[in-house]
Structures are given as C-alpha cells and as structure tokens.
Amino acid sequence: MPENLVSEIGTVVIIAIGLAYVARILKQPLILAYVLAGIICGPKIGFGLVHDHNIHTIHSLGELGLIFLLFMIGLEINLKKLIALGKPVIFTGIGQVSITVAAAMAFFILIGTSAFTGEFDLIYIAASVSLSSTMVVVKLLYDKRELDTVVGRTTLGILVIQDIWAILFIALQPNFSNPQVNSILFSLIKGIGLVIFCMLASNYILPRIFKVVSRQPEILLLLSIAWCFCIAGLAGYSGLSREMGALVAGVSLATFPYNHDVIDRIITLRDFFVTLFFVALGLEIPMPTWTMATYTFMLVGFVLVIRFITIFPILYTMKQGVRVSLMTTINLAQMSEFALVFMALGTASGHISGIMSSSIVLAIIITSTISTYSIQYNHNIYVFFEKILIFLGIRDRFPHHEVLADKQTDSAHIEDSIVILGFFREASSLLFNIKSKFPKLLDRLMIIDFNPEVTKGLVDHGVKYVYGDISRMGLLEESGVSRASIILLTVPDMVLAGTNNLLLVRELRKMAPNADIIVTAETFSSHDELYDAGANYVVLPRLITADYVLDIMNKSISGELLELAKLDSRKISGRDEVIQ
C-alpha cells in the first residue's frame, strides 16, 4: 500500500464532509464541495495534503465510485417510461443535444483552437456542453416540490434522453484513438452483443439465482455487486469502457423486484467512492491561467446561451407554451456531472489536454452554482423574459381568446360562470364528478391554467379552457373572472408558482366582490388567514381525509373493509379523468 494513503484519504474525506456541510447550508450542490476539497488538498493549487504518489491510487478508488454510480443509474432506468415520455420531450432531447454538439464544434473552431493541445479536445467539449445535470436539477426541483409539475416532468424527460446520449458517448469513447469505420462498427457490435447477453441472462438465468438468495439480503447485495463488476470487466476486456458495462449490468437488473433493495444497500458504498472520484478531479486541477479562465468563461457563456437557442424553440414549436418552454430551458442551463465522467475517461486515455479538462471542470462548478439560484427563482426569471418575448411577438400558440371563441361565450354566460383557477388532481376529480352527477353545470364551468398537457382533455370533456397564468390579474380580468358567481382555488400552495392562495384571494375579492370564493388551505393558520382575506369557504383536505380514514377504520373493525375496498376499486376503474 502506498505510503500514508489511508491517512491522506481520511484527511480529504474529513475536509470534504466539512465543505459539504457548508454547501448544504448555502444550498449548493455537494459535488462542488467535493471538488473544492480536492483542490484544497492537492499539490497543484492547495496545501499538498495529498502527495503525488497517492493521487493515482485515489483515482483508481474513485473509478469504483463511477462504476457504482452508473450501475445505479442503470438500475433506475425504466424502458417503458422512456417510451411514454411523449413526442415533445423526445424530440427536444434529441434535437437539443444534436444541435448543441454541432454548434459547439463550429463555435470553438471559429474562435481558434490554439489551446487545444489534446487530440480530441473539441469532441469532449462538444459532448460536455450538450448535457445538463440530473443530480443538480432533480435535487433543486425536489426541494421546490416541482418534480411532479408539467415543467418538472418535461425537464426530467429531457434529462433522461440526455443520459442516453451520454451512454452512447461512453460506448464510443474507447475508439477515438482509432476512429476507423470498421473499428467503430465492431465496437457497436460488441456493445450490442454485451446488451443482448445481459438481457438474455436477466430473462433466463439471473431470476432463478436471485430468487434463491433473495431471502438473504447480504448475499443479494454481494451477488448484485459481483454481476456489476463481472459485466464491467467483460466490457473492459472487450475494448469497451468499464463504465458502460456497469450501466448495462444495472439496466439488466432494473425490472427485478429486488432492484430498489439493492439500490438502498449499495448507495452508501457509491457515495463514499463517488466522493473520492470528485475529490480526485479536484486534486489534479492546475493553477488557473488566463487561457484557462478565458476558456472556462467561454464554456459557461456558451452553455447559458445555447440552452435558450435549442430547448425553448423546440418545445415552443411543439405547442408546450411559453411558460413550460422557458422554465424548462432555465432548469437545464448547466453542465452535467456526466461531463466529469467524460473528463476522467478522456484524461485516462490521453484524449484531452489538461487545460481543457480543468476548464470544463471549472465550468461545471460555475454553471451548477448559477443553477442553484436560477432554478430557485425560475418563475421570476420567466416573468422577466416573458415580457421580452411578448415584445418580440412570441406568445402562446393557443391563446385563451381562441379557445373561448369556439364556445361562443357571451356576457350573460360569464355573469353566472363557475371558474376554477388552476387545474391539478383535485380539480380533475371535481370535473369528473360534475360531468357525471351535475352535467348541466358544465355549460357554466370555465377553467384557467397554463398546463398544455391538459388542454386536449378539457376540450374533449366539453369544458371552456383559458390558457394562462392565474397569478396574472390582467388575464383573469380579461377572461371575465370579475363577473363570475363562484371562484374555486383547489391547487395547494406547494404547487403554485409565483403566487399563493392568500395573495390570490385578496386580489380576487377586489376583482369580484360579489363572487363566492372557495379555496383550499393546508394549515389551520392559513385557514384563518384566508377567511380574513375574503374567502367565503375554506376547505381543509386533511379534515376530509381524517373523516374518511376514520370511516375506513370503523369498516375494518366491523369486518366490512374488503367490501369497501372492492367498491372503491369499481369507482376508480370507471373514472375517465383528465389527470389520471
């Protein structure tokens, strides 16, 4: 064992933990803390707490983290969900990456390549700037509770498509040194062969073996790791990357009922070795030069600009609306952790120069830091850019007045209308109940929301639909909300963007003094505040749920639970709602 290796690993991990704690407080990605720990401990910029002869060993240990990371990504890939992403997401994911790669190569060739001392610098740059960070975006959207919104789902769908591009790059990367057509085709054949072998094993061999050991969690974990390492080693022996092998090994186990248990058990190992991987990247970042700084900020600027050039136009053209298109663009305006994987592989293969590798790592750090704030305030940024887009004549492609015109709305109808502001799960169920129990109310109903996914469903249900942001009072006034008889607010504050129910009730009470305003509250304190703001009735879903669950408990005590469950199942099976 190299001299002082254990103590030096302990030192960098302790420093990484301290910086990670600070990053958590500042709401920054933990990756930044780990890379910074490597920079501080490294011999090139930092205090030399890790000696040169130990850096290679830490790199090798970090590669295990990379293998574990890609194995777990494979375990979570659901091929059925990929197919169900929808055309807008699939076309955007394909088009965005393709256009970005071409634009990046053209741009950096145009500005000159004097700093490109690596043979394949340009290819690695193009691949790195084309992908966004799944790790950063998912964490920030989860914290904002926006993962299950239309913007969140669109963002995640594009990230999944980008990850597939990353897998393709990793598969082809070993052939860059010998870019012959025959060599690339042979690698693709070997990759396909590896996939076929793993899929056959997962269908006919592995299920029986895993079933035998499934009752022994420790052996199940060891078997999963052994499968991962065997396929990774087989890939490396075949001339493919070990990381691709780990990913294929994960995908082959993704449909097993034990995959979540394996993920839960392997995650601690992954976190430790991934920490060493990012620390190792920081250890080798050299002292910044003017050239490195120039290319770093070029990369940052290029990423921010190219996201708006590629993502927004494609989503907008496919009728996803200005808000969804723009906020998805904002969410994806950073570089991916996969670029760090590319740099590690490229450096190990001698494909990329040190200055370009370090510039890309620094650009990832800067764009990830920017995204911490841009995603946090994505609605505010959207409002700012929307004004510019309107000035340029770029508006929603299905404006509200066109939808209302088809229904020949007149002022007499608006006077007696029931308006639902925001269309989410509760509103979807309410609409179904109205249609099935009180169909005459449909003529009085009008819904205002900016989710393009529900537009067709609402039209099919014969409901007047206004596309727009319910936080815009001008839109509500123009849509006739001021003359409504009943206004319903069913979307909880955690889902609303750019406003909350209290603000809406205050403004609506001024706008529609004679309307009955019915609103949803999440807490007892907000219940009272909403009444004070002018609500006529405040619904507390927790109380309704409590009464319903209590009734279920009584049914269980009296032995009627199975009958009740069957009755509920029949009710649900027949509900053809807009939002399932």
pLDDT digits (tens, 9 = 90+) for 363-416: 988 898 888 889 988 888 988 898 888 888 887 755 444 444 444 444 445 567
Q: Give the pLDDT score at 3.
A: 66
Between CA 114 and CA 394 the distance in angstroms is 40
Dump pLDDT digits (tens) for 41-50.
988 888 888 8
**pLDDT surpasses 50 at 509:** yes
Q: Give the pLDDT score at 401.
A: 42
Q: Give the pLDDT score at 323.
A: 87
Global pTM value: 0.74
Between CA 254 and CA 77 the distance in angstroms is 7
Q: Give the pLDDT score at 118.
A: 67
Instruction: Name the burial class of residue 115, with classes exposed (0-12), middle (13-18) and buried (19+) by CB atoms within 10 angstroms of its CB.
Output: middle
Distance of alpha carbon 472 from its chain centroid, rounded? 27
Distance of alpha carbon 19 from its chain centroid, rounded? 25
Quick one: pLDDT band at residue 79, thresholds 50, 70, 90? low
Query: What's the mean pLDDT in 242-258?
Result: 84
Percent of all residues in the chain with a pLDDT value above 90, rounded to a whole number? 31
Mean per-residue pLDDT over the chain, rounded: 85
> Quick check: 104 and 129 in contact, CB under 8 A?
yes
What's the one-letter identity of residue 454? V
Q: Give the pLDDT score at 579.
A: 84
Q: Which of 3-7, 152-156, 482-486 has the highest mean pLDDT?
A: 482-486
Between CA 299 and CA 525 the distance in angstroms is 48
Q: Give the pLDDT score at 312.
A: 94
Q: Give the pLDDT score at 403.
A: 47
Dump pLDDT digits (tens) for 24-37.
888 777 878 888 99
Q: Give the pLDDT score at 247.
A: 83
The CA radius of gyration of the chain, in Å to the nearest whole number, is 27
Q: Give the pLDDT score at 537.
A: 96
Q: Please tell me what DSSP assigns to residue 287.
A: P
**pLDDT surpasses 70 at 349:** yes
**pLDDT surpasses 60 at 114:** no
Which domains, and CATH codes, for the chain? 69-267+287-333+340-349+362-388 (no CATH), 400-573 (3.40.50.720)
Quick one: pLDDT band at residue 551, thresholds 50, 70, 90? very high
**pLDDT surpasses 50 at 90:** yes
**pLDDT surpasses 80 at 182:** no
Q: Give the pLDDT score at 81.
A: 63
* Sheet arrangement for strand 537-539: 464-467, 445-449, 418-421, 486-489, 516-520, 537-539
First to last CA, the chain: 58
DSSP per residue, 67-103:
HHHHHHHHHT--HHHHHTT-HHHHHHHHHHHHHHHHH
Q: Which residues pair with 447 in a beta bridge?
A: 420, 465
**pLDDT surpasses 90 at 130:** yes
**pLDDT surpasses 80 at 462:** no
**pLDDT surpasses 70 at 188:** yes
Percent of all residues in the chain with a pLDDT value above 70, rounded to a whole number? 92
